Amino acid sequence: MTLRALQIFWHKLTHWEYWPLHVIYFPIYLLYGYYSIKAKSICFFNAVNPSIKNGGLMMESKKKVYNLIPKKYYAKTVLIHPKTTSEGIKVFLKKKGLTFPLIAKPDIGLRGSAVQKIHSEKELFDYHQKANFDYLIQDFIPYPNEIGVFYVRYPNKEKGKITGVVFKETLAIIGDGTSTIEELLNKTPRFQIQLKNLKKEHGAIFNKVLTKGEKLNLMPYGSHSRGAKFNDFSSIITPQLTESINKICLQIDGFYYGRLDIMYNTVDELEQGKNLMIVELNGAKSEPTHIYDPEHSLLFAWKTLAKHIKYMFEISQINHKSKGTPYLKYQIGIREMQAHFLQNKKIIQFKFI
């Protein structure tokens, strides 16, 4: 094992945010089992967001979720099927008024995998040729900042609450006037982990020296798996921000529990509900991702996850008992889970570069 590999191994070992998901979630699985017994259904999650397939836990279409959101809150979006012709894609782009750069991403996603910034028609057709799944093409959102806002509202309440906010610090470096891009990346273990993928995409400029203070964003995606750092930003929660987020969420029929990933300009404008766009809305599978702040302990994460599992159970119970929203039948749940794993496999195998 090389020294660099050893450094990366040690960094992952001593930072629980990099541990395998099933290891982190093991006690939460046990808690979920407890609530399943109380609900008399292992698939009670289906009732937490009645308007989203499977409550948003698996196999939900991002395009169908976008269709629930008022259009002013998200970027222009087109759904592309693998068998769509190149000419058909051009027609879609023209009809929607989409221009480069664009964002391409799977319609049924996996933690930021296969999300790609597309700069040209050639890149788009390359992505299309390699994608064996439905995907979305979206306008590139110009706002500089991204956060994840976890929102919870009980169906018998007129107002919901924000339970956590995460600020997503994308993978960017700042030049010192002497170091190459590769040397700058090697100074940060978080970036070293992404070095292999970064070389595939940006290797041609790795020997470039940035001027002092020059910033270069190498991964413009707020995804932890793509090198983004998650910082707990819950300190910005105010009554005004809660009111603005609540106003948006009340316009999304059948949405009670989940995380809104939002691009925005300034915190002041965000508080007022201005100059923001919803990147994605995630339902039952949402994580309160502020737990992944490196300053937080694993115990903090477990307590926060436990609290949110309880929210999901209680909301599902209310929708089931008072609104007649069904729980998912076990047999259907198994089939959906199998389809979910197959979809994940397609996305994991996707290689754009």
Task: Give how far Cα 248 sits from Cα of 53, 65, 289, Å.
Answer: 20, 14, 20
Query: Is the pLDDT score of 262 beyond 80?
Result: yes
| pLDDT for 214 | 87
Same domain, 91 and 120: yes
Mean pLDDT confidence for 299-323: 97
Task: Label residue 203 by pLDDT band (50, 70, 90).
Answer: confident
Return the residue matching tokens 């051009």: 90
Give residue 4's region: left, alpha or beta (phi > 0; psi -120 to 50).
Answer: alpha
At residue 46, the pLDDT reads 96
Average pLDDT of the residues of the chain = 92
Together in a domain, 180 and 161: no
Is there a single domain that holds both residue 189 and residue 80?
no
For the stretch 80-131, pLDDT in tens is: 999 999 999 999 999 999 999 999 999 998 877 889 999 999 999 999 999 9
What's the confidence (pLDDT) of residue 222? 66
Q: Which domain holds residue 180?
A: 171-219
Total domains present in the chain: 3
Q: pLDDT per residue over 17-39, tens digit each? A: 889 999 999 999 999 999 999 99
Q: What is the pLDDT of residue 182?
A: 85
For residues 241 and 155, state if they share a domain: yes
Nearest to 229 by CA among 276, 263, 258, 193: 193
What is the b/e burial string over 85-118, where b = at least 16 CB atoms within 10 angstroms of the residue's CB?
eeeebeeebeeeebeeebbbbbbbbbebbbbbeb
Contacts of 202 (CB under 8 A, 6+ apart): 181, 218
Single residue among 101, 125, 140 that ends a domain in this structure:
140
With bands split at pLDDT 50, 70 and 90, how would you rate the model's confidence at 10?
confident
313: pLDDT strictly greater than 90: yes
Q: Are residues 94 and 70 in the same domain?
A: no
Q: What percent of the chain has pLDDT over 90?
A: 71
* Bigger pLDDT: 225 vs 245: 245
pLDDT of residue 318: 97
Residue 7 has pLDDT above 90, yes or no: no
pLDDT, tens only, 211-241: 998 888 877 666 777 778 899 999 999 999 9
- Asked, for residue 7, whether it belongs to a domain, the answer is no
- Please indicate, yes or no, whether residues 293 and 176 belong to a single structural domain of this protein: no
**Is 86 among the domain residues?**
yes
Q: Which of 165, 176, 163 is nearest to 213 (CA)?
A: 176
Tens of pLDDT, residue by residue over 154-171, are: 998 999 999 999 998 888
Q: With pLDDT > 70 as the criterion, what percentage of the chain qualifies?
A: 98
How large is the greatest C-alpha to C-alpha distance in the chain, in angstroms? Answer: 65
* pTM reported for the whole predicted model: 0.89
Same domain? 57 vs 83: no
Q: Is residue 8 part of a domain?
A: no
- Structure confidence at residue 278 (pLDDT): 97
Judgement on whether residues 273 and 308 belong to the same structural domain of the protein: yes
Using the predicted structure, report yes or no on whether residue 48 has a pLDDT greater than 70.
yes
Least confident of 66-80, 221-235, 264-278, 324-338: 221-235
Residue 11 has pLDDT above 90, yes or no: no
322 & 289 share domain: yes
Q: Are residues 152 and 294 in the same domain?
A: yes
Let me know whether 32 and 149 are in one domain: yes
Average pLDDT (44-68) is 96
> How high is the pLDDT of residue 1?
65
Point out the domain boundary residue: 121, 140, 159.
Answer: 140
- pLDDT, residue 221, reads 66
154 in the same domain as 34: yes
CA dihedral of residues 26, 27, 33, 36 (deg, nearest 10): -110
> H helices of the chain, where?
3-14, 21-39, 62-66, 86-96, 121-130, 181-185, 189-192, 195-202, 239-249, 267-271, 298-322, 330-349
Question: What pLDDT, on a 0 to 100 scale, did the predictor assign at position 257?
Answer: 98
Predicted confidence at residue 246, as pLDDT, reads 97
Band the pLDDT of 353: cuts 50, 70, 90.
low
